Every structure is written in C-alpha cells, then in structure tokens.
Structure 1
Amino acid sequence: MAATSAAPLSAEYLAEDDSGKLITVMWVSTVLPVIFVCLRVYARLVIRKTFGWDDGIAIAALVCLIGYAGVVTAAARLGLGRHIEVVLATNPQHLIDIALLAQISQTLAIMACTLGKTAFAVTLLRIVVQRRLIYVLWFIIVSMNLINVLCAIFVFVQCDDPRHLWNQAIPSKCWPTYVFTNFSLFVGAYSGAQDFVLALLPWFVIMKLQMKTREKLAVALAMSLGIFAGVTAVVKTTFLVNLSKKTDFTLALPPLLMWAAAEDGLALVAGSIPTLRPLYKAVFPGTSAGDSYKNVDSYQLRQPRNNGPIFGVVKGASHISAHQRGAEADDESDKSILDKSYSGVSLTNIKKTTDVNVSYAGSQ
C-alpha cells in the first residue's frame, strides 16, 4: 500500500496566534479588579473603619484571579493560542506543560469566580433585614461554593493518575469525557443564574430604604452591575460546549479562558463599586447625597434569636435588632415620631411642652 502524506499546512494557518490577545485580555480583566478592590479596602478600612468578611473574601478572590492570569500568561509564552502542530514542532514538552498549566488555571478561575460572587452575597447580608431574603442569600452562598469547590476538585480527580490529564503517555483509567464536561456546563449555567439573582436582590432592599427616589435608583443600579458578569458567564458556557468538540485545544482554549477572566473580573468590580461611596464623598464632600445611604455603605449588625451577631463586632458599634433598625430607617418620616407602635417596637410619643412666663408690670 502506498503511503499517503498529509497536505502541507499553509503559511496563514501556521501564523495564526492568539497568545498576545490572550495575555492582554487576561491582564486587563485583572488590573481593573485590582484597582477597584484596593479602593474598596481603603474606603472600608481607612474611611469607614468597617472592614468585614466580604472584603476579606474579595481579596481572596482577587488573589486567585491574579494567579489565574499569571498561569495563563506562562502557558501563552509556551504556545497557548497557537495551533497544536506549531507547538509540537517547536517543542513537544511545551504541549505537556501547557496542558498542566491549563488544569491549574481552571481551578484558579473557578475559585476566583465563586469567591467574588460570595463576597457580593455577604455584602448584601449587611443590609438585608427580611428573613426570607437572608435565607435566599445563604442558600446561594452555600450551594454556589459547594458545586464550584466540587468542580475545582474534579479537575484533578478525573483519572486515577492525575498526570494522565496533561501527559497522555502516562496510562490511567479515567472518567468518561462527558461526565466532567456536563458537570462543568451545569456549574457554568448555575453560576450565571446566580449572577442574575444577585443583581436583582438589591432592588428589593434598596427600594424600601428612606432615601430619595433618584438616590435609590443610583444605588440599586450600582449594586446590579453583576448582571454583566452573568452575561459573560452565558457566553463562557457556549465556548465550553464548543471546546469539547475540538482537538486543536491550544487554539480553541483561549476564548474560554478570556471569557472566564472577564466574568471573574466583572464580578469583583461590580461587587466593589457600591462600597466606594465613602471614598466618593471624601473626594467630593459637597455632594447632596446626605447620610441616607448609611444603610448601604456602613456595617449593619443583626441581633438574631440567640443574641449573637452574624458578623464580627465593629469597634464602637452597638448591637441593634432588626425591628429597631427598621424604626431607625424611618427616622426621616413622621411615622417614627407620631405612632405608638412601629414594626412591633413600642415607641413613646413625642410630647410638646410649652412653658409660658407671664409678667405683670405694676403702675408707676
């Protein structure tokens, strides 16, 4: 039988290279969150002195995102973003290294995603007083972390010998390919759905605050920017579907990595913007926003039935119940000073006492 030779690859095919674009998108998607998270930490730690769990989680998410960008950059330097034939022709070992770095980057991207969204959910817990919304937020936090952590673990436990994942020469028994692919699709869809839910929840909270309508809309819109992260999650999931159908993974993988970085970065930026109002007031002290935003950018403490705070104690702050906070939230209306009962809290009517001094002038 006569041997058949493969058709020569065109110069245009060999010249295709997305590595430069990949590196640029990765670091743009990382530098912006770095700026916003640093401003967030300054506003919370220096100006408001209300640094909380959500801020710490946001920092952890940022660390994962920076690590993700660094690992992907290293893979791009080895040939990620070019055709697999080019990588093999350059150095076959580079293909193994790229596959290993891709596995590591996937785990970092998953953790940056779930921590960024968890940080925003914990921020909402600071201002939510309705019990049903608190339950919804805790369900989102627990379920989102559970499935994302499982996904991060599954990245490396698909094969009895994990080295087979980046070096096909090492024999190992592995799961069917569709198992992890389908689970990843579920995680991506669920993550995007949570972005939309977290973007809508602030409207149920902000609209009940004692604020001007214009200010309510501004704050609610600022806290709903996570909807853009949800859109990127949907797009990322479509690339995940297409990736499973391609064998030239070194060129097919970059779009998925870029959309994942965009989702993670947008989640951190959107979660940080609402916390920057104290910084805005410090820079522009003449603004007319007033103090009616304090429910949003200050540390809200709740007094549950067991009399223990949900979050850590803020120095100088006192514990108040949800009902008491409800009364204080209405301190700009007549309701809190005229009614004897407000939200189940007994209030004392304001009594006006007028002292009249009468003096008589005697005749001279």
Structure 2
Amino acid sequence: MDSQQQVPNNGPLLNGSVWTLVVMSLVFLALRLWCKYLSHRGLWWDDHILIISWVVMLVSSSMISNSVALGFGMHAPDIIAKNHGPQVLPEIAFRGAIQGMLLVLGNVWSKTSFAVTLLRITDGKLKALVWVIIITMNVFMIVGGLLNFAQCTPAEKVWKPDTPGTCWSPGVYVGFSIFAGAYSALMDIGLAMLPWAVILKLQMKTKEKIGVAVAMSMGVFAAITSILKCTYIVTLEGNDFLYEGVHLLIWSTAETATTIIAASIPVLRVLFLEMRSSNGRYYEHSSANGTKKPRQGRTGNNTVTVTATGRPRTTQFSKDDDSDRSILHGTGIGKITKTDEVRIHFHDRSDAESEGIELDTMASRADP
C-alpha cells in the first residue's frame, strides 16, 4: 500500500486544473449570456461560437478525466502495473489523439468568437484584416491538429506503434504544432490591439476610451497561455509523454478558458457600468422633510412660456418650486395674459452611462 502511495502521479493535478478552468470559464460565459438577457438582446454569431468552444472544452476535459482514471499522468511502467498489462496504453494514446484535436478546436473557435465580435465594429481594411486573421488562424491550427493523425500511415499506428506502417519524423508534427501555437499567440496580440485603432477615433473622453480599449484587450492573456503551451509541445517527442504531457494539456485547456473569459469581459463591463449608473440615480428620502433628493446628476425644468400670439416670452432653467414665478416673468402687472407652458425635464448623463453606451454600441449592437 505504501509503495502505491509513493508512485509519481500527475493525474490529480491535471484533473484539478482542467476542471477549475472549465468552471471559471463557465461562470464568465454564463454572466455574458445573462447580461445579454438583461439588456433584451438576442445571441449573435460570436455568442454561439463561444458557447460551442466551451462545450468542446467540456468534452475534452471529460475525456482527460477518463484518461487519468486509466493512469494518464503516471510513468508507463506504473500504468502497466496498475492495469495488470500494457493493453491499456493504446487506449490512452487513442483518447489522447482525440483530446488533442478537441483542444485545438476549442482554442481556435474561442479566438474566432472574439474576432467575429471585432467584425461588427470594424470596416474597410481593418475588417479585411480581421477576416485574414480568422481564416489563417483556423487553417493553421486545424491543420496542426489533423497532422497528428496524418503523420502515420495507417493512422492507427499513431496510438498503436506496433501496427505495420510508416510515420514521419516526430519533429515534423512537433515543429508545425509550435508554429501554429506561436501564430495563434501573435494573432491574439493582434486582435487585442485592433480595438484601439477603432476606439481612438470615437468621440469619447480619454478615460472612457482607455476603459473600453482595455476591456477589449484582455486577449493578451490568451496569448500568454498560448506561448506557455508552446514551451510544452516538445514533450510530444519525449519517451515519457504519459507523465510529462500533463502540463501541455493543462495549458491547452487554459488557453481556451482564458480566451472565453477575455471575450466575456467587455460585455460584463457594460453590465457593471449600467448597474453603477443605476445605483447613482437612486433617490433617497430626506430625513428633514421627507422629500426626495437626487444623489447625483443635474436635474431641473426648462420652462417656456408662450403668449397668446405664440411668441416666446421667457426661456429659463428653474427649479420645481420656481415654476410659478417663471410663468409670470415678463407679464405686465394688472394684465391677464393667456399663456401656454411647455416644460422639459432633463438630467445629465453620467460618465458611467456614457462609457456603457459607447461599449454597448461597439461590442453588442445587433447585426442589421
């Protein structure tokens, strides 16, 4: 029993990490969808793609947990001892090939979701650039995932090495995978920087521009996870991938989860600003006389008094309790004048409202 407890096993670390990432990304995705519901907007293509990418990550994580149950995360001899024979190794390898493809799809589709969001706020050359990023990123990453199966003839030799056939040099698949991962990281940085080119042209206050741009630039964190993932791709060439490959799966899952979170933050920022703005407009009762007073913002009435001839006699801003006097301004003493009053109520829009409206217009407007 003591010897079994001392067997090196990265499986629990892998399980705990991937499911923590799945839950965290689900929370942000659910809040994103809830925000859309509260604002009475339907889901658009970027929402659907993001949901699909999360479902793919969920499926891959479930398969990873199943592989861990079979022994993935342990050294090959320990896996053989645990399962009383080497027959389980091809099964783990086959599941690993499927997991790898699912992780690639989850990664690229989560990034595609944010790129599709950018298509709605860009035009001209910038929109064409976004399309180039979407197409090339999907081609390189999906081809990289398929190469895992194409590197051997027949493909079965990938998970059953004893099968008669031929395989490319392992360096071909590993090298292209690193290239695809690095390209993905570069595109993450590009997608994070693109909103700045759009936002700087908007008629907004500087702090509002920075707030919106930063919220839409969270993809840089996805780029960081992609770079870290690339550093572990070389373990595919190792002789002990069943034990050392744990970190590659963790960072691959983290790349998808981080992208989902980053793509959700701009929408959640709108919800936060709307909540803050709404709280600022609440009225509290005065302890002195029980009247309501606004907590912030400028309110008042614009009273326009018009004589019977239709010409405006007075135009002024006044408080509610000054409205009677404003009506009498300009009328002669002792004369009776028929007047029509038009009263316009107004209040200033807060900075929070302005920021939320600008971001909502950029990132969440419906497709015409």
Task: Please report the TM-score for the alignment, with normalisation by the length of structure 2.
Answer: 0.74
Q: 1:223 & 1:112 partners in 2: Cα distance?
A: 20
Choose between structure 1 and 2 for higher RCO, CA contacts under 8 A separated by at least 6 residues.
Answer: 1
How far did 1:271 drift? 0.7
8 Å Cα contact 1:57/1:115 also seen in 2: yes
Q: Does 1:172 align with 2:165?
A: yes
Paired residue for 2:215? 222
AA at the equivalent of 2:36 = R
Question: Does structure 1 residue 274 correspond to structure 2 residue 266?
Answer: yes
Distance 1:93 1:297, change over 3 A: farther
Give the aligned partner of residue 100 of structure 2: 106
Q: Residue in 1 aligned with 2:291?
A: none
Q: Alpha carbon RMSD of aligned pairs, Å?
A: 2.3
Q: CA deviation at 1:293?
A: 3.8
Aligned CA distance change for structure 1 residues 301 and 98 (closer, same or farther; 3 Å): closer
Q: Which amino acid aligns with 2:353?
A: G
Greater strand fraction, Structure 1 or Structure 2: 2
- The answer to whether the Cα contact below 8 Å between 1:50 and 1:298 also exists between their aligned partners in 2 is no
Contact preservation (8 Å) 2:267, 2:363: no
Distance 1:114 1:214 in 2: 32
Distance 1:219 1:228 in 2: 17
State the one-letter code of the partner of 1:124. Answer: L
After superposition, the C-alpha distances for 1:96-133 in whole angstroms (9 at most, x for unaligned) are 2211111111001100110010101111112124x221
* In 2, Cα distance between equivalents of 1:281 and 1:293: 6
State the AA in 2 paired with 1:123: T
Q: CA distance change for structure 1 residues 86 and 299 in 2, over 3 Å: closer, same or farther?
A: same
Q: 1:305-320 alignment to 2 at 5 Å?
A: 312-313=367-368
CA distance in 1, matches of 2:42, 2:126: 23
Higher mean Cα deviation, 213-222 or 63-72?
213-222
Match runs of 1:1-364 below 5 Å: 15-91=7-83, 92-129=86-123, 131-241=124-234, 243-281=235-273, 283-284=275-276, 285-286=278-279, 288=350, 289-298=352-361, 312-313=367-368
CA contact (8 A) 2:115 2:134 kept: yes
Residues in 2 aligned to 1:282 and 1:294: alpha-carbon distance in whole angstroms = 9
CA–CA distance in structure 2, aligned partners of residues 66 and 154 of structure 1: 23
Q: Aligned partners of 1:103 and 1:81: how far apart in 2?
A: 15
Q: Tell me how far 1:207 sits from its aligned partner.
A: 2.2
Shift, 1:13, TM fit: 11
Per-residue CA shift, 1:276-322, capped at 9, x if unaligned?
234324544235411454343247799xxxxxxxx854xxxxxxxxx
Matched residue of 2:239: which SS?
coil
Query: CA contact under 8 A between 2:266 and 2:363: conserved in structure 1?
Result: no
Query: Residues 127 and 296 of structure 1 are in contact (CA less than 8 Å); yes or no, is this contact kept in structure 2?
Result: no
Measured after TM superposition, the shift of residue 169 of structure 1 is 2.5
1:220 aligned partner, one-letter code: A
> Does the 8 A contact of 2:218 with 2:262 survive in 1?
yes
Q: How many equivalent pairs are there? A: 294
Post-superposition offset of 1:208: 2.0
Q: State the identity as a percent.
A: 35
State the TM-score, normalizing by the size of structure 1: 0.75
Shift of 1:191: 0.7
Partner Cα separation in structure 1 for residue 16 and residue 33 of structure 2: 26
Deviation (angstroms), 1:79: 0.9
The runs of 5 or more residues in structure 1 that have no matched partner are 1-9, 303-310, 314-364
Deviation by residue 1:47-97 (Cα, 9 ceiling, x = unmatched): 241421111111111111111111111111111111111001122222222
Change (3 A) 1:142 1:254: same
> CA separation in 2, counterparts of 1:177 and 1:291?
55
